[in-house]
Amino acid sequence: MKYFDNFILAPYIMKATALIGVSRKVGGNQFRHSFATLGILLDYKYFDNPILLKASLLHDVVEDLHLKELDQIRNLDHDGPEVLILVQ
């Protein structure tokens, strides 16, 4: 298994905190759901796909927060453009 250097989730976690307090239609809240999604991917050993892991934290941000300024995601780090494509 190949691991990567400098895998940083912090900017994506900070962006996902915008989901705190946003209710899910099926119950619970979107912030916990985002972290649960990340946890599932880690359980399935997706350690070597930083784009997917980062997108898991933000997969509901654009839709649930009606985020129109997509550059906020695109500019989070060098993976931002690819993360945004996956989120969309």
- Each residue's pLDDT tens digit, 4-22: 666 788 899 988 888 888 8
- Rounded Cα distance, 21 and 31, in Å: 8
**pLDDT over threshold 70, residue 2:** no
- Rounded Cα distance, 64 and 59, in Å: 9
- Each residue's pLDDT tens digit, 24-74: 878 788 889 999 999 999 999 988 899 999 999 998 888 877 777 788 899
- Rg of the chain over CA atoms, in angstroms? 13
Q: What is the pLDDT of residue 60?
A: 86
Whole-model pTM: value is 0.85
DSSP secondary structure letters along 14-45: HHHGGGTTPBPTTSSBHHHHHHHHHHHHHHTT
Q: What is the pLDDT of residue 1?
A: 47
What's the Cα-to-Cα distance from 31 to each of 1, 6, 48, rounded to whole Å?
Answer: 30, 24, 23
